[in-house]
Amino acid sequence: MKRKFFFITGLSIFITFSARSQKILNINSILDSIQASNPSMKMYDAEIRSLDEAAKGAKSWMAPELTSGFFMTPYAPRYWKAANGVPGMGQYVIGAQQIIPNPKRLKADANYMSSMSSVEKEKKGYTLNQLYAEAKKNYYEWIVIKKQLLILDDNEKRLNYMIQSAEIRYKNGLGKINAYYKAKAALANVQNSRIMLENQIKQKKYILNTLMYRDKTIDFDIDTAYTLKDYQNIVFDTTLFVTNRSDVKALEKEMYVNRLKQETERTRLLPEFGVRFENAYGWAQQPLQFSAMGMVRLPMARWSSKMNKANIESLKWKNESLQQQKQMILNESVGTAYGMRTDILNKNKQIKLYEEKILPALYKNFKTYELGYEQNTEELFELFDAWETLNMTQFEYLGQLQQLLAMQVELERILQIR
Better-predicted residue by pLDDT, 17 or 328 = 328
350: exposed, middle or buried (Cβ count in 10 Å: 0-12, 13-18, 19+): middle
The answer as to whether 228 is a domain residue is yes
Domain count across the chain: 1
Among 12-21, 80-89, 290-299, 394-403, the range of highest mean pLDDT: 394-403
Give the pLDDT band (50/70/90) at residue 14.
very low
Give the pLDDT confidence score for residue 21 in this predicted structure: 55
Helix (H) or strand (E) holding 296: strand 289-297
Query: At 74, is the secondary structure helix, strand, or coil?
Result: coil
Amino acid at position 138, single letter: N
Q: For residue 79, is pLDDT > 80?
A: yes
**What is the domain extent for residue 410?**
31-74+89-415
The answer as to whether 64 is a domain residue is yes
The answer as to whether 19 is a domain residue is no
Give the pLDDT confidence score for residue 292 in this predicted structure: 94
The answer as to whether 20 is a domain residue is no
Give the pLDDT confidence score for residue 170 in this predicted structure: 75
Give the pLDDT confidence score for residue 4 in this predicted structure: 45
What pTM, to 2 d.p., does this model score?
0.85
Tell me what the mean pLDDT of segment 1-25 comes to: 51
Out of 18-32, 59-73, 139-153, 340-354, pick the least confident.
Answer: 18-32
Query: What is the Cα–Cα distance from 235 to 246, expressed in whole angstroms?
Result: 19
CA-wise closest residue to 380 among 221, 186, 191 = 186
Neighbours of 156 (CB within 10 A): 15
Query: What is the Cα–Cα distance from 192 to 214, expressed in whole angstroms?
Result: 30
Tell me what the mean pLDDT of segment 222-239 comes to: 90
CATH code of the domain covering residue 224: 1.20.1600.10
Q: Please provide the average confidence, as pLDDT, over all residues in the chain.
A: 90
The answer as to whether 97 is a domain residue is yes
Query: What is the Cα–Cα distance from 331 to 333, expressed in whole angstroms?
Result: 6
Query: What is the Cα–Cα distance from 338 to 229, expressed in whole angstroms?
Result: 15
Tell me what the mean pLDDT of segment 242-247 comes to: 94
Give every CB contact of residue 116 below 8 A, 6+ residues apart in sequence. 51, 54, 55, 257
- The C-alpha angle with vertex 299 and arms to 254 and 99, in degrees rounded to 5, equals 95
Q: For residue 88, is pLDDT > 90?
A: no
The answer as to whether 11 is a domain residue is no
Quote the crossing angle between the two packed helices 306-353 and 380-415, to the nearest 10°.
150
Quote the crossing angle between the two packed helices 180-211 and 103-171, to the nearest 10°.
160
Give the pLDDT confidence score for residue 176 in this predicted structure: 66
The answer as to whether 23 is a domain residue is no
The answer as to whether 84 is a domain residue is no
Tell me what the mean pLDDT of segment 247-252 comes to: 96
